[in-house]
Amino acid sequence: MTEPAGRSPVGPDDPVDALATAWAEEVEGTSYVPMAADELQAHLRDLAGLVIDAVLADPPRPDAGAEVGRRLVSAHFTGPATLERTVLLLAEQLPALLGPAVLPASLALTGTLAGGYAAALRDRTLDEQEAIRRAVLAARHHTEQALHASEARFRAMFHEAAIGIGLGDMDGRILEVNPAMTRMFGHTADEFRRLTVGDLTHPDDAPSVWRLYERLLRGEIDNFRLEKRFFRRSGKEIVGHLTLSLVRDHEGNPTYQLAMLEDVSERHRLQENLEYQAFHDPLTKLANRAKFTGRLERVFAQEGPDSTRRVGVCFLDLDGFKAINDSLGHSVGDRMLQEVARRLDDCVTDGELVARMGGDEFVVLVEDSHGVDRLIGLADRVLAALAPPLPLAGQELVVGASIGVVEQAVRETTASELMRAADITLYTAKAEGRGRWAVHDPGRDEAETERFTLAAALPAAVARDEFFVLYQPLVSLADHRVRGVEALVRWQHPRLGVLSPSLFIGPAEETGIIVELGRRVLEHACRDARAWQDEFGDAAPFVSVNVAQRQLVEPALVSEIADLLDRTGLRPDRLQIELTERELTADEGAPLKALDGLRAMGVRIAVDDFGTGYSNLSYLRKLPVDVIKLDGSFGEGLREEELSDPVDEVIVGTLVALGHALGLTVTAEGVETGPQATRLRALGCDEGQGWLFAPALPAADIARMVRRGAPLGDPAATPGGGLLGA
């Protein structure tokens, strides 16, 4: 027979599989069956086996069709076309697979299958209807209970809630309030019922609050939340977090307004206190850096490129405060800062903000300054206010200030540039003598800006090891041979090239990076000196390394140098430490302790730039010093063939005699000519250093110079000539 379109042909080899395959193709998609394709075919294979067994039985068992129909329904084969396609399939395929003899049994089986299918489908529908009926009855029962329980819970919540709850009509009349609301306001429930929502206004209410309320009454919004101030019955103010909601009827029409109010007064006071602490200095009660910065940034944020607005700052730093703080203690220093803050606060007027930036630094911001004259007048008032002595610690203490004044058009600068200019100008005021103000001068500040830029770049430069060391020979004036070298650091700046120490040593000392930089220079110098020691033995030059005041007060300096000498293997007498006369006398205790420790190890100590520090000579006698290096300015009058300044000769002779009287070696710096070297030797100088002998050189050049052993500097040479000797 011809196969129907879309149906797979079947064969006699495996009638059960063939029937199951054709059956699955026929009914797939006719019902929602939660089975994958392989699961569907496996299920229908069981039914196909049951059908074939029934029609082949002797006698046939057509009643098995009813079981097949029930099992189809049980497996959710309940789509409208499922039964029809199944009956047609079995009527056609069973004779084709099993022979024409099974046709009567096949027709009888499909009839019982249809009956069983219909009966099972009816039973399932009745069961579902009964389940729905029972669910409805249960739901009604539970709903009635839930309504009663819900109402009871609502009443309990309404009365026991910690937040205030109030119900009002659409005219604003208050209908009901809970006990928390009465406690919050001090009104009774009856008193509340005589009030309207409008009676709860506050003078500080923003217009936007009542615009939201009007939109709620019109039904445009269903709720809103905000913080609002209210008055208690006693007149005391409270702050509440209000949630106002619209209650609609079953048709969606607004019927009531429901207010829920939490008293957040305590939290609000805590927040205000925290905000005050965040933006005020706890010691002086002035605005702090954060508040000042915020105000300054708002000035710039509010102005456009065409603005004519001007702004100014007076940035001041107290003069001599550190000495008072260190000598009299921090408690006295704190009281001084408080009194200074009070006087500064008295100096400012409307539109001016005084803030403490930290330590003994203060700043006054002048918005809408309209010219530098106003800032200068303010600076004069500040200096006058700080001039009278402060009665503290049983005595009258005087404190002055240096002030940097900057006044500019807002559109011509930025907040950060304004403060950088103020900082630079403050430094200028201090450099000019303190106790005064200086006005920002862009031309003059350019050099200071570069200086500040270098200072800011120093830590990273040290970390990247951008510094290298050169050595300038220290020569015996008796035979012009090298006795030692002074280590001189240079900065290989990636943009500016090689920078001399005069450009970065000062900023390095101010920032404190001099400690790490000095540590690295010492390490480098000691390693080079050890290499010379290995090659030349006792003839090797010693190395002299400058140490700054900040290094001298480092507690670990002595132990670090001892460890360095141990690691490098350099003999202690091959290392000389140089420090200036000012550094020696700045603080007697710290340098003396460090120098005693170094001297005990065998390290030599030299006083650099001697004669320029106005030191106490009796104090110099107590110091563990081996060498004094005369400042080059004293030998300037001795450079020419003919003596140009007899006074210089007398001064040098006196200083040499003093040094020898103390048992010290005397080295002359800045030696540039042969006649100058001759005169210095005649005056008794032991050593010389300068361009007559050699400039600062790499370590390899120093080694070649010592290896050659020739004298340096022809006494008859002109300035700058014969740098490496003949």
Q: What is the DSSP string of 63-125?
A: THHHHHHHHHHHTT--STTHHHHHHHHHHHHHHHHH-GGGHHHHHHHHHHHHHHHHHHHHHHH
Q: Please provide residue 236's backbone torsions phi and psi, each rounded to the nearest 5 degrees.
A: -70, 145
**CB neighbours (10 Å) of residue 511?**
14
The three-class DSSP label of residue 211 is: helix
Triad 435, 437, 441: Cα angle to 5°: 145
What's the whole-model pTM score? 0.49
| Model pLDDT for residues 220-234, shown as the tens digit of each residue | 888 888 888 999 999
Residue 8: the pLDDT is 41
512 — alpha (psi -120 to 50), left (phi > 0) or beta?
Answer: left
| Model pLDDT for residues 454-491, shown as the tens digit of each residue | 888 999 999 999 999 999 999 999 999 999 999 999 99
In angstroms, rounded to a whole number, what is the distance separating the alpha carbons of residues 353 and 526? Answer: 54
Residue 2: the pLDDT is 35
State how far the alpha carbon of 372 is from the alpha carbons of 61, 196, 607, 684, in Å: 117, 57, 47, 59
Residue showing tokens 């928390």: 180
Residue 341: the pLDDT is 94
Collect the ranges in the chain with pLDDT lower than 70.
1-13, 30-35, 79-80, 121-122, 125-156, 303-306, 443-449, 585-590, 612-620, 643-644, 714-726
Residue 142: the pLDDT is 55
Residue 154: the pLDDT is 63
218, two tokens = 């019109």
CB distance 96 to 142 below 8 Å:
no
In angstroms, rounded to a whole number, what is the distance separating the alpha carbons of residues 627 and 666? Answer: 6
